[in-house]
Chain A
């Protein structure tokens, strides 16, 4: 059996299995991300069966998955929305960063992973899953709620913070030292600002240039542009993912909408691959020693996210139940926590236990987040004997 044959069979088994498991998750309104991680764990090093053939494909496909995840994230927002969000809710954003970056960073120090580990684990606990949050808000019919814009503003700022954070992390992981790090951060901040300004002024021109009446050429143009920008950004040490994110922001209006529709299935495929690869690279036997820490981190960071959302909602004049809802929607961590950890893993600087900790943590949070968002309010109402009126 040739290597290609084995790869095809293994990929087929993995995707088919994920599809079936994902269907099951969808029936319970769950995010599929934890299942993708589980799938990877089962078939990776130290898993039930070891799949060797997918590593090569998985590596590059996972990279493309990250590029597409960030490109789609950029497409979701217009530059104007980001600038407005920054102006109106920077205090909430800062609160979010302080409250949620700290627990991860502290734990990394306690486990002896040093400043690099703190940088990575802080990022993992900081960033909520905008994908899960958006799905929960839609599924629970909360789009019309008053606290929803507050939640979305926090998510927007987190995503914008990623554009600053990822280059810094890439620099730190690359071990290029303080001066080199500062230069990289300087460059990336300049690039981010330049792209935002350019997107505000020339967004429609960039969009018009990318747009194509035929789906096929449109797809090729946008993927080509994304990979090229990501590659160039990576060559400048700015992190490929940020390049893709900025391109997504620069594309706006109708072009962004149709690009998002066109790219969605591809993003789902490649991002799933990325999550599986993360699972594949995690040895399940490294998990038991860190599971306690993962649970503790989950409890602490659920509380800190809850506090962030409630605080931001309160500032916006939202009542107590709205604050509970705003806080709980933000609890879920998912795709971007894995992106952060995945980049760290790829550099090979950090111990394997970090992989295991993050995998366990994200699986917990991606499942617990939506459950908390759904049941926290009714449970608290029952506890405080304030039933909900139908009117």
Chain B
């Protein structure tokens, strides 16, 4: 993907990509680190429909939400020759019963046979998290298992 960089003298830098439908989506990063998400208008592509200020944490979380599906797709591709194994991603929310507790507390592998192969947090990928790693609201868990196992994992993580 071609990322365009435009310096904004005295203000900062703009980084954006042009989508398939012609819209520009990107970031304006000001000198002091203040980041804005920008989306261009359809009828006037020079202007912006919105420029939304994001904190560093918000930007990172949004980044991992956007990056999650690609990781899942990659994993699915890797074990596409293993029938019966699939990959799914689960978002840890405030309502998740295990939010703020170590991953081991979910006893997911014992109960469902599915395992958490990666954790995405604030744009960072934590591969093979250990049972001691604490899961937090906003984390994205990438889980590999059988379809039934994944359904059971969903039930555990969503507290039903």
Binding site for B on A (CB under 8 A): 76-77, 81-82, 84-85, 130, 134, 137, 141-149, 152-153, 155-156, 257, 261, 318-319, 321-322, 325, 388-391
Contacts and interface: CB of A to CB of B under 8 A. Distances in A.
B36 interface: yes
Given A257-B31, A257-B32, A145 B46 contact: yes
Contacts of B36: 143-144
B5 to A, nearest CB: 11
A149 B10 CA distance: 10
Contacts of B48: 141-142, 144-145
26 contacts: A77-B9, A81-B9, A82-B9, A141-B50, A142-B47, A143-B11, A143-B30, A144-B16, A144-B26, A144-B36, A145-B47, A146-B24, A146-B46, A149-B8, A152-B10, A156-B9, A257-B31, A319-B44, A319-B45, A319-B46, A322-B47, A325-B46, A388-B43, A388-B44, A389-B42, A391-B43
| Max chain A C-beta neighbours (<10 A), residue from B10, B36, B40, B48 | B10
Given A319-B46, A321-B46, A388-B44, A143 B9 contact: no
Interface string B8-30: 11110010100000001010101
Nearest to B48: A144
B96 to A, nearest CB: 35
B7 interface: yes
B128 interface: no
B131 to A, nearest CB: 41
Contacts of B9: 76-77, 81-82, 85, 152-153, 155-156
Interface range on chain B: under 10, 10 to 19, 20 to 34, or 35 or more? 20 to 34
| Max chain A C-beta neighbours (<10 A), residue from B30, B36, B44, B45 | B44
Given A77-B10, A130-B10, A153-B9, A141 B46 contact: no
B41 to A, nearest CB: 7
A388 B46 CA distance: 13
Contacts of B73: none
Interface of B: 6-11, 14, 16, 24, 26, 28, 30-32, 36, 38, 40-51
Given A141-B51, A144-B26, A391-B41, A155 B46 contact: no
Contacts of A142: 47-48, 51
B42 to A, nearest CB: 5
Contact of A152 (B11, B30, B45, B49): B11
Contact of B51 (A84, A144, A147): A144
Contacts of A155: 9-10
Contacts of B8: 143, 148-149, 152
